[in-house]
Amino acid sequence: MDRMKIIKRRLSMSLRSARPVDDSLSELAEQMALDETPGARENGETYSCRPPGNRIGIVHENVKMGSDGESDQASGTSSDEVQSPVRVRMRNNHHRRISNEDINKRLSLPADIRLPEGYLEKFAMNSPPFDKPMSRRLRRASLSEIGFGKLETYIKLDKLGEGTYATVFKGRSKLTDNLVALKEIRLEHEEGAPCTAIREVSLLKDLKHANIVTLHDIIHTDKCLTLVFEYLEKDLKQYMDDCGNIMSVNNVKIFLYQLLRGLAYCHRRKVLHRDLKPQNLLISEKGELKLADFGLARAKSVPTKTYSNEVVTLWYRPPDVLLGSTEYSTPIDMWGVGCIFYEMITGRPLFPGSTVEDELHLIFRVLGTPTEKTWPGMPTSEEFKTYNFPLYRAEPLVNHAPRIDSDGHDLLSKLLQFDAKKRVSAEDALKHSYFRSLGEQVQTLPDTASIFSVKGIQLQKDPGKRSSVHPESSKSSHDQKE
């Protein structure tokens, strides 16, 4: 919390100074990385924004955040490696013909990218031999020449949503002709937005998974930071609305597995999402579910976006946090998974409270008022006693969700535990017998492979589905919107 205040203060000072905002954002992003891990690693290299000999706390003034979200510096970078590919002499003596595929692999580009005319020759002149690592700065220059990090690379289409700090547009990339979501974050605010933007960038550039939204590009100007995401048709809330809130139990299982898969990947990397709700789970035409909106991930005391959003988020907040706990870890997300599971299977939210007290009442009416047996230590706590809750008896969850089978009921019960330490982890939930019908192959999928690459796994028609058409004009999928 103190670190976030320091970061906001630094940003406030930099916004009032003559220095470009992109320099300031870059330095803050790098400093946050330093604060959290002594040395981040990429391709086996250790890098830091603090050059040898500088005293602690001084950030290198030339560091800039590029379109890949990395600092310009890299250890062992020679001067001729950091020039533009257009101006660099031929260095690769054992010359070989370089193909589009080579460049795509070298720069981690999508297969369908359109490279500028003559770029193959320029890249061949500049790139070091393929058995040697490419410097971070040379990679940056190469990406810039292709068109990354530039507003003119993207055509802005419809507005999808607007929040306090950000506006999201549907757009099209001139590089691939694919649709993208352009999240424009205004930088004139001193509270909240820049910190959430830096956090989202620093997290998403390191999270590469089939069930996490892909951050394609970063563009920053003096007044705006634009995050370019893959575009998905809708979010889970819209999906449920489109099928009249009556989903196929097969589809519920496939969506829940994908949610747990993305979350397990985050949790292995000590990343908490902290804002799980149907509006933050994006759904592709194929049925791929992806976690989005990492603006609150790992960030505490970030201002809420709007009152209505605060109420909605309340529905998925665990009772320990509702009762004032700030010492939480990965189980904070697992309660939300249970609420979303119930909502998919029944078509209605489990605990739609309007205030913190109302939310707790709804939880205890279904799960029973906590006792020393069900939640050791809580019934005697001052925070709990101030509410003076009636003594509710627990009701079997199956009474509220008749379509759920016994395995699903068991998993739901393990997710909705009062005591955070007793909640099942995402990793263990993936191995639950509820998912046995998906087969063993889903357990060994590579991180970037879709669940639909497994033979036999496919969505079924939802019983309440009105139409198979995806409405182009529906309100944004991207609760990347704020």
DSSP lists the bridge partners of residue 169 as: 159, 182
SS3 253: helix
DSSP run (H or E) holding 219 = strand 215-220
Among 35, 140, 135, residue whose Cα is nearest residue 81: 135
Catalytic residue among 22, 275, 293, 320: 275
Task: Classify residue 226 by its DSSP letter.
Answer: E
Amino acid code (one letter) for 9? R
Cα–Cα distance list, 446 to 215, 261, 283, 285, 443 (Å): 19, 11, 20, 21, 9
115/117 Cα distance (integer angstroms): 6
Listed in sequence order, the residues at least 6 apart from 215 whose beta carbon sits closer than 8 Å to its beta carbon are 69, 201, 204, 205, 227, 228, 229
Secondary structure E strands in 80-189: 154-162, 166-173, 179-186
> 123 vs 75, 105, 331, CA distance in Å?
22, 13, 47
Q: Please indicate whether residue 242 is annotated as part of the active site.
A: no
- Which ranges of 161-229 would DSSP assign to H, the alpha helix? 193-204
Per-residue CA distances from 100 to 67, 118, 262 (Å): 21, 11, 31
Query: Annotation-wise, does 183 bind a ligand?
Result: yes
Residue positions forming the annotated binding site for ATP: 183
> Active-site residues: which are they?
275
Residue positions forming the annotated binding site: 183
